[in-house]
Amino acid sequence: MMEVNVVHIKSGKTLATLKELTSDSTIRDVKNKFQKSNPKYYADRQAYKVDPRGKMLKDEETLGQLGVDNNGKLLFKDLGPQVGWTTVFLTEYAGPLFIYLMFYMRPALIYGAGASSKPYAQVVHIAAGCWSFHYAKRLLETVFVHRFSHATMPILNIFKNSTYYWGFAAFVAYFVNHPLYTPPSYGDKQMYAGLALFILSELGNFSVHLAFRSLRPPGTKERRIPKAGSNPFTWMFHLVSCPNYTYEFWAWIGFSIMTQCLPAGLFCLAGFYQMAVWAKGKHRNYLKEFKDYPRHRRAIVPFLL
């Protein structure tokens, strides 16, 4: 048996001395013990380091593996109030679906009473179908497909992320469904070319999400090298680490081509920037974690980025 001191990472103040631990005790055991003396800090709100500049410790790591012995210390960080990932995703994705359909189905509420008397161009109906399909797919994937490595995230993220998704939904919907909206310059050819790219990319995105799901057994945090399978859409793994982001970027390129709408293009570019940041981070983690990870892969854009 040994004792471990929990020290605040910024102030250096000792918050608790946890007793009856062993070298086989995990960080999850530490969190549970700390919670008993400090109920405010439930396990998902706690994070620990052994070095201020080091990485956050994983729940399954043991004190022995970390070199923490009797009267050793762990640096504590409060992650703040948490909310479940599923809750965040459902909130993020339900909003854009509802907002876009409000503009599409009730134009009189947005543009005035005369708006409902003007017929929509065919591309407007197709755009509403594409937008609805994308976010309905995301909602269903959140419930039935995704397996999250972390149970929660800071509650402030739900407001930050929702502002982004909901705001862009209103921005794009306002212009695409506007009574003065002008169809694409090259007519049906441009519309169907954009639609084809959107549909194929959505299928690719879904296929990759299923592939990621198969990498992590239920109830675990196991990580494996993602690899291409028999589904042709997964062959993108030969080129990039995060083809789900690649396909999503292409889907919004298709939507922007189809609608020829500047706000849609801006949404596409903003999304690409954020997904590129996420993809590069995940790509770096793969390279660090797996010694045999394919070095020729890029993060999100084949051969470039």
Give pLDDT tens digits for 193-245. 999 999 999 999 999 999 999 887 766 667 889 999 999 999 999 999 999 99
One domain, residues 92 and 206: yes
How far is it, in rounded angstroms, from Cα 257 to Cα 263?
A: 12
One domain, residues 66 and 146: no
Model confidence, pTM: 0.85
Pairing of strands 2-8, 72-78: parallel
Pairing of strands 152-154, 46-49: unpaired
Instruction: Please indicate, yes or no, if residue 305 is contained in any of the structural domains.
Output: no
Instruction: Please indicate, yes or no, if residue 23 is contained in any of the structural domains.
Output: yes
Residue that finishes a domain, picked among 80, 102, 118: 80
Range of the domain at 246: 83-289
Instruction: Please indicate, yes or no, if residue 299 is contained in any of the structural domains.
Output: no
Quick check: 205 and 141 in contact, CB under 8 A?
Answer: no
One domain, residues 177 and 282: yes
Instruction: Please indicate, yes or no, if residue 205 is contained in any of the structural domains.
Output: yes
Sign for the CA dihedral angle at 23, 27, 28, 31 comes to: positive
Please give the tally of structural domains in the chain. Answer: 2
- 166: which residues sit within 8 A by CB, 6+ positions away? 95, 96, 99
Q: Which helix (H) or strand (E) holds 108?
A: helix 107-111
Residue 95 has pLDDT above 90, yes or no: yes
Give pLDDT tens digits for 135-163. 999 999 998 998 776 667 888 888 988 99
Give pLDDT tens digits for 158-174. 898 899 999 999 999 99
Torsion angle, CA of 148/232/205/276, rounded to 10 degrees? 90
One domain, residues 29 and 134: no
